[in-house]
Structure 1
Amino acid sequence: MENATGPGESGYPVFVESIDADSRYRRVRLRGLGCEPLEPEEFEPRVRQVFPDIDLDDPAQVHWEDRPGQWPPWHPGEA
């Protein structure tokens, strides 16, 4: 879903890409900044740094491409 916000941007302030089974991260597109790989622990602090007043539960502000709120399985010690 591309629009006039710029190349690779979805129109949502936050767009969480689909889960990649080979990664512990989810790629998160932050409007105006591009895409960043984030771990679950990094997600909320980073999003709030960019959008302090965002409602993380509002699907008009945070769009999950699949499995909302879920992250790839990863265990400490795995590369």
Structure 2
Amino acid sequence: MENATGPDESGYPVFVESIEADSRYRLVRLRGLGCEPLEREEFEPRVRRVFPDIDLSDPAQVHWEDRPGQWPPWHPGEA
């Protein structure tokens, strides 16, 4: 059984998983929809489509597993 706490268990509408060193994405769990890999540029538009009135700076609404607001380093042209 998985030990990760997602938004369905924690009560957070948005739960951002830990940074993975070998990925440009962060896994983002959206309550009621599951988990999606999102890039920095995709994060806010996707979250706002699902939760239009969300306050992205409110830790009660958006939980970051580590490094809040940070994304893995990646540069265009990298695979």
TM-score by length of 1: 0.88
Give deviations 1:17-37, integer Å, cap 9, x for gaps: 000000000000000000000
Give the aligned length.
79
Assess, with a 3 A threshold, how the Cα gap between structure 1 residues 21 and 53 changes in structure 2: closer, same or farther: same
Aligned sequence identity (%): 92
Give 1:8 deviation, angstroms. 6.5
- Equivalent pair of 1:26/1:39 in contact (CA under 8 Å): yes
Question: What is the DSSP-based 3-state SS (H/G/I as helix, E as strand, rest coil) of the residue aligned with 1:49?
Answer: helix
Q: Is the 8 A contact 2:8 2:32 kept in 1?
A: no
| RMSD (CA atoms) | 3.3
Q: Is the 2:8–2:31 contact (alpha carbons within 8 Å) kept by the matching residues of 1? A: no
TM-score, L = length of structure 2? 0.88
Structure ranking higher in helix proportion: 2
Q: Is the 8 A contact 2:27 2:37 kept in 1?
A: yes
Native 8 Å contact 2:7 2:13 kept in 1: no
Question: Match of 1:74, SS?
Answer: coil
Contact 2:7 2:14 in 1 (8 A): no
Distance 1:3-1:20 versus aligned 2 partners, 3 A rule: closer
C-alpha displacement of 1:44: 0.3
**What is the CA distance between 1:11 and its match in structure 2?**
1.9
Runs of 4+ with deviation above 6 angstroms? 1-8
